[in-house]
Amino acid sequence: MTHYVKAWILALGLILTPAAASAQDAQPEAAATEEVAEATDAAASPSGLDPALYVPMKPTPGVGMPVQGGIDFQPQVSATGKQAKWINNAILLPIITVISLFVLALLFWVMIRYRRGANPEPSKTTHNTFIEIVWTVIPVLILLVIAVPSISLLAKQFEPAPEDALTVKITGYQWYWGYSYPDNGDFEIISNMLPEDEAKARGEPFQLAVDNRMVIPVGKPIKMLVTGADVIHSFALPAAWFKLDAVPGRINEKVMQIDEVGVYYGQCSELCGARHGFMPITVEVLPEDKFNDWVRANGGTVSGDETETDDGGEEAAETAEVAAAETTDGAAADAAAAAN
Ligand SMILES: [Cu+2]
């Protein structure tokens, strides 16, 4: 009798197990539906900013991002990038190709012409002054040809920022980026990678797209101050030929100027921990007026926008400064008189 009871309990258990399993499934499904709903909301106002001021730009396929089967550098959108790509394609690649083919031909010639069968008595020659001079001088000339454009490019990349440059401070965190704009009221943008469905919904490449982009004006030198908050990261944007390490306790500086409006993707390029591969960079380059609108949408300030109270404050500060200088002069004059 007892084994009947056991059999019934077992049968009941078997019937209920799939039901319990599907009950467990049901919960994540509901969560997924909520996520989709959230994603749709985000698509309606993807940036979360006032759409009258800023709507994230769609990227151009193949520009500012890696392409399937690509073997060349990305199309370059900065002056240094264009020069660097030109050096690679017009100077380095042809020289490398000619040298490789020449050495290969020499190898084949030696292997065939001087093999044991064709040349049973090898020559005992050890020196040939002419050939030694040739194989020293020609490589030196080749290196000189490469050095001239490459050193000038290096110098150009590290020229100090001009007076009118816009400063952007970039901080690498484990594992996202922060962009702050000290010239525009010092607001900070926190930039995290978008989940796959959200990136797709926005028509952007997954693992390169972010929720909040770094936005800069087109054709303007940007003074990039790069630092790390925890470990060493590296800010890299291949389309702009820009890469700079983000080191904690230290600020690295380099100018970046992008001359074409668009969306460009990059990645952290210094192994920085578990989610190193998931802290992409998205830079959106806009005309100056659109950039100013984006600053305003983020609650930042644009020079020329200052309110009257601000001007009043500045004037008051200037007056105070002048007064202080006069006092100091007066005091100095008094001291001089006393000394006399
Ligand atoms: Cu990193």
Give me the mean pLDDT over the 8-27 stretch.
Answer: 47
**Higher-scoring residue by pLDDT: 321, 149:** 149
**10 CA → ligand 1 middle, Å:** 54
Q: How confident is the model at residue 306 (pLDDT cuts 50, 70, 90)?
A: low
pLDDT of residue 5: 53
Give me the mean pLDDT over the 303-315 stretch.
Answer: 52
**269 CA → ligand 1 middle, Å:** 7
Residue limits of CATH 2.60.40.420 in the chain: 166-297
Domain 166-297, CATH: 2.60.40.420
Looking up tokens 């020609």 gives: 138
Residue 185 has pLDDT above 60, yes or no: yes
**186 CA → ligand 1 middle, Å:** 23
Q: How confident is the model at residue 303 (pLDDT cuts 50, 70, 90)?
A: confident
Give me the mean pLDDT over the 224-237 stretch.
Answer: 97
Could you tell me what percentage of the chain is helix, strand and coil, using 3-state DSSP and rounding each to the nearest 5? 50, 20, 35
**228 CA → ligand 1 middle, Å:** 9
Q: What percent of the chain has pLDDT over 70?
A: 76
Residue 332 has pLDDT above 80, yes or no: no
**275 CA → ligand 1 middle, Å:** 8
**244 CA → ligand 1 middle, Å:** 12
Q: How confident is the model at residue 325 (pLDDT cuts 50, 70, 90)?
A: very low
Q: How confident is the model at residue 6 (pLDDT cuts 50, 70, 90)?
A: low
Q: Are strands 176-181 and 187-191 parallel, antiparallel or unpaired?
A: antiparallel
**210 CA → ligand 1 middle, Å:** 14
**106 CA → ligand 1 middle, Å:** 46
Q: How confident is the model at residue 9 (pLDDT cuts 50, 70, 90)?
A: low
Q: What is the pLDDT of residues 132-158, one digit of tens each?
A: 999 999 999 999 999 999 999 999 998
Q: How confident is the model at residue 2 (pLDDT cuts 50, 70, 90)?
A: low
**214 CA → ligand 1 middle, Å:** 16
Give me the mean pLDDT over the 42-60 stretch.
Answer: 77
Between the two ends of the chain, the Cα-to-Cα distance in Å is 126
Q: How many CB atoms lie within 10 A of CB 78?
A: 21
**Cross-sheet strand order for the sheet of 262-268:** 214-217, 280-286, 262-268, 233-237, 242-246
What pTM was estimated for this model as a whole? 0.72
